[in-house]
Structure 1
Amino acid sequence: MALSEWWPELGPWLVGTWVLYLAVLAGWIVLQKREPIATLSWLLSLAALPVLGLLIYHFFGPQRIVRQRRRRSLARRGLQSALPADLHPSEDCATVARLAQAATGYAPCTATDARLLVGGQATLDALLEAIAAARHHLHVEYYIFEPDRTGTRVRDALAAKAREGVRVRLLLDALGSGRLGRAFLAPLLEAGVELAWFHPARLRWLWRPRINLRNHRKIVVADGRVAFTGGINVTDDENEAVNPRAFHDLHLRLEGEIVRWLQLAFLEDWHYATGVAPRDDGLWPPAPPGRMVAQALPAGPDSPWEPVHRVKVEAIHQANHRVWLVTPYFVPGEAARMALTSAALRGLDVRVVVPARSDSRVVSAAARSYFDELTAAGVRVFEYQPRMLHSKALLVDDDTCIIGSANFDHRSFRLNFELSVLLHDAGVAAGLEAELQATLAHCREVRAGSPPAPFLRRLGDASARLLSPLL
């Protein structure tokens, strides 16, 4: 039957159904109260792709997690009675620290030692040393834990400690560590390691998927005295000792009061994932005060305040002479772009370091779309050439650093569970400066006024930028 024959009968029904579909989804999306540009982008996509657009929005669109937020609140509340008296908000805070405390509930404290670990090999060596020295407990949390040579070494070390009677809890993200099979995990379970999964796949989540709500944190706490956090996962892809093309990344080894707050972050995640609030004796050994000011910055979609985003932007605004940012994924929102360009326009030394070749072509293309604006304002942009740059750090002036798992993009600021550490210490800042100088030696600078890229590349970059709210 020709279109002209059936359209008079079915056409009005199809148009009416399409209009009703748009009205219902528009109400749903508008009530999310996101940025107008993101809301309009989703509405146009859903109008143009009635079925496919709905599926994309359902699985990848912005998700409010009211139930998860309630569960996170209950997880923290369930631990309160067992927490030491010093794990409570402080009234004596500087501006950035006060902002961080209000957004996270984590107070500033001190560290007796903060060691910057450069690369996966140095991090693995320090981690295995801490595991071997553990006598009471090991709390381990990762986004990616692979069944490769690096993963096998860590697995065997954890299993060995469990057989010695050390209590080992291992929390893994179900998506990032999804390649771990029963055969690989068997030695851990047989040794008595307690294994839990963050947001494991379940059939009921086909209706409320959690593809975006991943646990991107990397936390290890040994005996409540030594802690690790940063950007390095347990995988050969981030261990240059076994893979010459391994990602270049940073990690931290910490001692002192800051370990208590990383312990709290792990225990909250464990309670959230398992429903069990650990109350073992020995979780909170005495922590002597140190000379370094430190503050843990947990962030995730369970908080409406975007703590890492706010703290980084505020630190940039308060900078006096230098802002150096290194990130593998650079997709800044308006507030972050404004902070960087304003700092450069004030005459500060502002540098942004990104990989020349990322593991995500779309993210790299979106990042390039911002370079013209940044360089025009005086921001110096550098592309790291040798391999994938995975470091995530911010250096402000000569004494302030933020190092952790969070990238400088919407996904880290809003969609993933992240953890960074804010450090005020000239020694740590000097170490980070030296590392960034070494990184810059292998970079190509993107200069203002350079000849424009080919048209198709510029079109691709601009198109990828439209996906910024999803990246």
Structure 2
Amino acid sequence: VVDGRIAFTGGINVTDEEDESLRDDAYRDLHLRLEGEIVRSIQQVFVEDWVYATGQQRKDFQGTRLWSASDANVRGGIAVQALVSGPDSAWEPIHRAKVAAIHDARQRVWLVTPYFVPGEAARMALTSAALGGLDVRLVVPKVSDSRLVTLAARSYFEELLAAGVKVYEYGPRMMHSKALLCDDALAIIGSANFDHRSFRLNFEISMMFRDRGVAGTLAQWLEGEIAASEQVRLQPSRSLWRHRLPEALARLMSPLL
């Protein structure tokens, strides 16, 4: 958050792995630059996280120096809501919002995430949408920075593919973007992965947009990522020892991933 007027949030970490000027294989990521009233909400999230982590008092974060009036020049009228999850709350707002959005979709559900380890509710939402005839697509990295998570994610592919979900593995470099597109008017973009750790354990923030312009921009971007990916097909003859057993063992660790 810059001067209480501009906020940046999304998947990008402050690390050399994300710096395209340093390496050709920098992570593929998605980030937001926000202005307007939503910046106050994001700054409040930072304050709450800081207080939780440091024990500092909330009263130290008062006054117009930090909470200046919103920029009257900001225009656009885009409806956006901050979704926040963390170990300080048992409600799992990001998890609930994403599952609800998938259930409410009527045409398509497109999801991109670097770490795909869904719980039962999220998995049922995706497969139910596909079985209901929706265009459901999942984009994950072909090569992840976590071998265990990759194996766990692939343990779900057979069920998803059988239900009609189209699964794609992005290969050019590590896919680190986290976004959900439902129909033509709802988009969720932020830091949260589609896994237990992001939904329940980590401090995460995602922006939920109800806007056709934002959804259209995300759809266009996702089409490009899908075009650069390899579609996963059902392979009933996959080796038990080489593929199925390692994936099953990794899946046992899903609640911790």
Aligned AA for 1:454? Answer: S
- Looking at structure 2, the residues matched to 222 and 401 of structure 1 have their Cα atoms a distance apart, in angstroms, of 24
- Residue aligning to 2:250: 464
- Residue aligning to 1:307: 93
- Residue aligning to 1:359: 145
1:371 is aligned, of 157, 171, 187, to: 157
Deviations 1:296-325 (A, max 9, x none): 111011111111110000000000101000
Aligned AA for 1:349? Answer: D
Deviations 1:219-248 (A, max 9, x none): xx1111111101101111011221111111
2:30 is aligned, of 250, 264, 288, to: 250
- Residue aligning to 2:195: 409
Contact 1:270 1:276 in 2 (8 A): no
TM-score, length of structure 1 as denominator length: 0.52
Aligned AA for 1:224? Answer: G
- Residue aligning to 1:443: 229
Q: How does 1:27-426 map to 2 (within 5 A)?
A: 221-274=1-54, 275-277=56-58, 278-287=61-70, 288=72, 290-426=76-212
- Looking at structure 2, the residues matched to 452 and 385 of structure 1 have their Cα atoms a distance apart, in angstroms, of 23
- Looking at structure 1, the residues matched to 9 and 187 of structure 2 have their Cα atoms a distance apart, in angstroms, of 14
Deviations 1:127-169 (A, max 9, x none): xxxxxxxxxxxxxxxxxxxxxxxxxxxxxxxxxxxxxxxxxxx
1:452 to 1:357, Cα distance in 2 relative to 1, 3 A: farther
- Looking at structure 1, the residues matched to 236 and 230 of structure 2 have their Cα atoms a distance apart, in angstroms, of 15
DSSP 3-state at the match of 1:240: coil
**Pairwise CA distance, 1:290:** 4.5
- Looking at structure 1, the residues matched to 212 and 21 of structure 2 have their Cα atoms a distance apart, in angstroms, of 30
Percent identity of paired positions between Structure 1 and Structure 2: 64
- Looking at structure 1, the residues matched to 212 and 67 of structure 2 have their Cα atoms a distance apart, in angstroms, of 28
Aligned AA for 1:316? Answer: I
Q: Which has the higher contact order (CA 8 A, sep 6+)?
A: 2
Contact 1:394 1:402 in 2 (8 A): yes
- Residue aligning to 2:239: 454
- Looking at structure 2, the residues matched to 380 and 234 of structure 1 have their Cα atoms a distance apart, in angstroms, of 32
- Looking at structure 1, the residues matched to 78 and 146 of structure 2 have their Cα atoms a distance apart, in angstroms, of 36
Aligned AA for 2:206? Answer: S
Deviations 1:179-234 (A, max 9, x none): xxxxxxxxxxxxxxxxxxxxxxxxxxxxxxxxxxxxxxxxxx11111111011011
**Pairwise CA distance, 1:426:** 1.1
Q: Give the number of the structure whose residues are more often helix, by fraction.
A: 1
Aligned AA for 1:276? Answer: Q
Deviations 1:328-357 (A, max 9, x none): 000001000100001001100000110111
Please say which structure displays the higher CA radius of gyration: 1
Contact 1:262 1:296 in 2 (8 A): yes
**Pairwise CA distance, 1:282:** 2.8
**Pairwise CA distance, 1:451:** 4.8
